[in-house]
A and B are shown apart, each in its own frame.
Chain A
Amino acid sequence: DAGITQSPRHKVTETGTPVTLRCHQTENHRYMYWYRQDPGHGLRLIHYSYGVKDTDKGEVSDGYSVSRSKTEDFLLTLESATSSQTSVYFCAISEYVGLGGELFFGEGSRLTVL
């Protein structure tokens, strides 16, 4: 299994509070991603990183920010959580190989916003 650790694995919070999810990798892969998974929507890309301090938006980035100060850590922040951000969040990593590199996923972080 790829060395990816997400924390926390479960969190319940209230609307309007800030939340930070952490993804830590031990593979030294260049690319890191945050996806959210919701019933009926599959996996949707929130933000991704292509190097230290290099990040960009995915298709559902509103309400989220990210930071990557070290190769191994990618943080996802919800500045003011809303109920629509209740979801399971997955971190993924990859190393580009040829036409496409395999994504390795973490175990997920389940966030409930009340």
Chain B
Amino acid sequence: GENVEQHPSTLSVQEGDSAVIKCTYSDSASNYFPWYKQELGKGPQLIIDIRSNVGEKKDQRIAVTLNKTAKHFSLHITETQPEDSAVYFCAAKPENSNSGYALNFGKGTSLLVTP
């Protein structure tokens, strides 16, 4: 099945700096790659996603890049703010999954933005 590896597990940056989180996946047929943000005590929430026919997508301060050849995708957050502090999960949806439209998640990155 699909295996999603996520690095780093923890990341600390100063306010205003950029943060980058990287993920790799194993199933070359995977075609949908979302990123979720989880704040303390809450459920994960989608912040951005990218599909296999696109190499990059931006939404204000966040961007995601996808390299299908290398089977990796990354989340970039620019001009970080304290409210960006949270756990971030990458995920992938296998093309031929036998789990409906469920996603396979990475293990998460705990991002801390210090003032």
Which B residues lie at the A interface, using CB under 8 A? 1, 6, 31-32, 34, 36, 41-46, 49, 51-52, 89, 93, 98-108
Q: Which of B1, B34, B49, B100 has the most CB of A within 10 A?
A: B100
Q: Which of B43, B89, B98, B108 has the most CB of A within 10 A?
A: B43
**Partner of A50 from B31, B43, B100 at Cβ < 8 Å:** B100
- Asked if A62 is at the interface of the complex by the 8 Å CB criterion, the answer is no
**Partner of B107 from A41, A96, A101 at Cβ < 8 Å:** A41
The verdict on A48 contacting B108 (CB below 8 Å), with A42-B89, A43-B44, A99-B52 known, is no
- Asked if A74 is at the interface of the complex by the 8 Å CB criterion, the answer is no
- Asked if A8 is at the interface of the complex by the 8 Å CB criterion, the answer is no
Given A40-B107, A42-B105, A108-B43, list of 20 further CB < 8 A pairs?
Answer: A4-B43, A35-B105, A42-B6, A42-B89, A42-B108, A44-B105, A45-B102, A45-B104, A48-B100, A50-B100, A56-B98, A58-B99, A58-B102, A59-B1, A59-B99, A90-B43, A99-B32, A100-B31, A100-B101, A106-B43
Residues of B within 8 Å of A94, CB to CB, are 101
- What 0/1 pattern do residues 60 to 97 of A give for CB contact below 8 A with B? 00000000000000000000000000000010101010
Residues of A within 8 Å of B89, CB to CB, are 42-43
Which A residues lie at the B interface, using CB under 8 A? 4, 31, 33, 35, 40-45, 48, 50, 56, 58-59, 90, 92, 94, 96, 98-108
**Partner of A31 from B31, B42, B93, B101 at Cβ < 8 Å:** B101
Q: Report whether B105 and A99 are in contact in the complex, using a CB–CB cutoff of 8 Å.
A: no
Nearest B residue (CB) for A38: B107
Nearest B residue (CB) for A105: B43
Residues of B within 8 Å of A106, CB to CB, are 43
Residues of A within 8 Å of B49, CB to CB, are 100, 102
Complex Cα spacing A59 to B34, Å: 20
Nearest B residue (CB) for A94: B101
Complex Cα spacing A106 to B104, Å: 17
